[in-house]
Structure 1
Amino acid sequence: MTTGADEAADERLRLRLELERARHELALMRLREADLQRREQALQAEQDALRNSRLASLNLIEDAVDARNRMAQAQEQLQRERDLLEHSIESLPGVFYLIDSDGRFRRWNREFEHVTGYNAQEVGSMHPLDFFAPGPDRDLVAERIARVFTHGRAEVEAGFRAKDGHTVPYYFTGQRVMLDGAPHLVGMGADLTARRALEAQLREVQKMEAVGTLAGGIAHDFNNILGGMLGNLSLLSEALEITHPGRMHLEQLNKAALRARRLVQQILAFSRREASVQQVQALAPVIEDAVAMLRPMLPAAVALSVQLPSYPVYARVDATQIEQVLLNLCTNAWHALPASGGRIDVVLEALTPVDGGREALARIVVADNGCGMDETIRSRVFEPFFTTKPVGTGTGLGLSVVHGIVQAHGGRIDVFSQPGQGSRFAIVLPMSAEPVHAPIATNEEPVHQAATGTRVLYIDDDPTMAMVAQQLLERAGLHARCETDAAVAIAHLRADPLAYDVVVTDYNMPELSGTDVARAAHALRPQLPVIVSSGYIDEALLECAQDGRVQGLLNKERTLEDLLPTIGRALAAAGIPRA
């Protein structure tokens, strides 16, 4: 039988067990809570790590995108620079090349292919020396290429040979550059054809200037002779009676001397380089003058025929330039004839308007029966420096000058030619109406003449000219002292500066020139008129006359006609009484 004490003991035991179980469960709960916290912390750590990983990945992606963009931009910039470099190379005014130390072409432009005629594949397989003919040019280029690699730079002028074999003068440069650690040659080549043409033109201009200078000197000497001849002929003619049989011969001599004087004037006009002065004038006299200059040059086997109309044909022209055109054309015609001779025809004609809409034209034709020209030559005859003559015998400038002169006159030049059938050059110019001359004024100033008794100091180193001048002056009633030594004449003037009313001096004399005499006279007596006589009045003499030291210029070949009027004008300008 269970007692109350046992029940209490059992209850205490149950409560103790319950308490222990509760404690155990609490411990388990705490363990579970701690584990849960650890799990939550681990999960949070994983989440944080995942979040950080995602952020890192995003940063990496952004960095990769930025890097890719920057790379794309760099590639675009590089491509732009490459395109610019390519465009620059292709736009260079010449050939461009890049060559390695083994002589292989690494780069060149399209102009290189265009000039040489080789395609890219062919150029890439060639050596630089393949573009030069064997001989001095190739050897020189080889030496200059080697110099680039040893000294850093070189240049050379040589004939650049194309695929078809023709050679063009070129100027080449070379500069050493380092590419990928290896030396290369980079350079350019420029065509020298135009420069050589300009150099040839300059030489021609200098030659023409030399011809002009020579013509001036020759003209002076010839005019000395002609002045003396004409003066003596005039004096002799006056000394002979009208019925004297020798007067006819004197007249022929006088005509011949006048023709010679005119020929010298034409030579001087032809050699001078003056501005074109076009005026309306008849063409027939211009043609006759040109033919007169040409005839003495032609061989006897060459027949020169001139056909002029019975009526005058007028045009606005520069006579000297048209004469030059005719001389060039006729000279070319002569050179086209065989050695056995031939014929040159010069024809002037007027072309009447057709249909009322075209102006009247003048046509000058120069034709020959020489060798003629084929179409290739005919199409190039007016190109500067083009010539079919052997080297050293022709400049190729004659017909280009002709073409330029005709164009400057508002005209044209037509060429008709076939091989073996001669050539025909037709110059067509606008025709002009006959010029209207102004009526002669009735109140013209009379021709100045020196007063009788005028004292003249005449200086000329040519004794013949001095003698003729003295007789002409004394015949006109003037007192003349003639000296052939300028120093002696100046000494006389220094001894008595008032002894003379006027000084007439030759320009071209040994030791002292005419301008030296003018300066000395001006220093001794500033009011004393000085006249300079010359067979060739050049720019220096004109400048001297303009500065006041010379009061008159006299063309020596016209001494007979102009000596006394020129003295009269100088005296009048100085205020000295005249007749």
Structure 2
Amino acid sequence: MNTSQDCGCCHQSEAGQTRHTTDAVLEPAPGELEAIQLHLQTIEKMLGGLFGPIYSREPESLRIRGHVADLIERHFEGIVNQWENAIGSIFGFPTLKHEPGELDETLSNALIRFVAHLRDPDDLRTYVYLRRHCQQGMLSRATPSQFNTIHIALKQVILRHVRASVRGRKEEAFRDVVVASIDERRLMVSWFYIESRESALRASEEKYRNSIDHAPDVIYEIEPGTWRVLGANSAADKVHRMLMADRSVESPLQKADAVLGPGPHSIASHFGAPITDFVPPEMREETIAHLQRVMERGSDQTYDLPLGPFFFDVNSAIISYGNERFIQMILRDVTQRREMMDSLVKAERLAAAGTFAAGVAHEVNNPLASISSLVQSLLPGESDSARRTTLHTILSQITRISGTLKDLVNFARPSTVERKPIDLNNLITETLRLISYNKRFNGLQIEPALAPDLKPVFADNNEIQQVLLNLLLNAADATQQAGGRIRITTENLRPVDGDRSGRVMLRVTDNGIGIPKQYLERVFDPFFTTKPAGSGVGLGLSLCQRIILGNRGTIRIDSEVGKGTSVTITLPVHEGAAQAQTTTAS
């Protein structure tokens, strides 16, 4: 095919001047000509059966097409003007967008390319332009019926000139060529129109599908009544995998995963299962009740829903499309928000406990010092060995009480926090070097898993190291059995609403004896401990919590008896690092 402007995009007028198209030259896209040619062959076969040999690529047919092209060229200006007037009268508005005496540029260009295709059926330039118009030009804003009307008007104008110029069998042949050529054009445009609409529909569907799939919130598509899961996004798959890996969360899907082989498997492998199979048994009734409220009201909300180690706000609504509908369930992860709220409540409790502890320490320490002085004054003059032993026992117990009071004072004393940017990975490495000399860690396997791209946190270096030492010592005490393992993990967390800088996560996990579930709510209470008597007064974790809260962080403990304990801390990222990362991304 010839696609240059000198062939297929020009013709000679009656005065012998060469006409050229005035719009921009469109180069066919890769594969576009092949697609047009393939569809044109289908139309040619169909129209050939209707019009016979006159509509074919036989020499006689091509000769008549050439004569029709000559006729159009001889009456070019009249055909364009009459075509423009016909369109204006049909649609009831003036189409004149040019100076009087000039031809409509759009119609002239279209007619030049139409004539070129009449002369050479392999010149597909006219269809390249029409296809592009359907995709992004005027035809994308016009209906097929409007475009058909425009071409019917062109057909009638050309046929009037045929009737005025030729007679007899020649007129009949010319008429058949004009009608077949215009019908071919109309059928091709109908295909272009459908193709462009289907392409736009696919693009729109892909846009919304990707928007949902990449949304940070968990989204499920649920069938009303049966509650079967029809679809889910990537965030749902991520949460599903984490829950399936968490053996503390029981669900029928864990058994299904076991049948499928080593997992956890993607959520897509469980499409068709009811949503109640995705939640622990104790939550099934509430889940069904929530969905029934959605069916009754059109929508429903549930807040702070516990699911494994996470908490979610659930918003569900009925979505209708055509004659179908489904329930869209959206779960927003509010774990960090809940932790912050809990931290605020606990901070108030710690403040009250600290004030009480300071008062107790002050009131007890003074008389205790007097008792200690009196006992020490009795010792030099006491010759009875039994009584001396008793006095020494009294002094040792006074020393123990003094140590406890010192812990109380340290707990209650407001510390001066000197926050600055900290490389948490370096701090962990330094702390692990320090504990390597402690016999309590002999025989234990220490596994650091530190994120190489960890952002610096904004906190007090000494206080965070004190917290880390305390957690490591607690983990060592809980994992004295053979095969004891302590894992320290760091990770960058995705920023949540209202937190522009983001946070960093530090987690200390052991495979020790674990903490009974009924004690987990009390582990941060002052003076609460699960250790044997004499092994501590229960202020370690309370002090850790106070330090983390003072550094604007959060702390959470998850544990299961016989499997181990995990302490998760989040700390704010240094704003300078967050701004630098945002600038780099931009």
Instruction: Work out whether the TM-score is over 0.5.
Output: no
In terms of fraction of residues, the more helix-rich structure is: 2
TM-score (norm 2): 0.37
TM-score (norm 1): 0.37
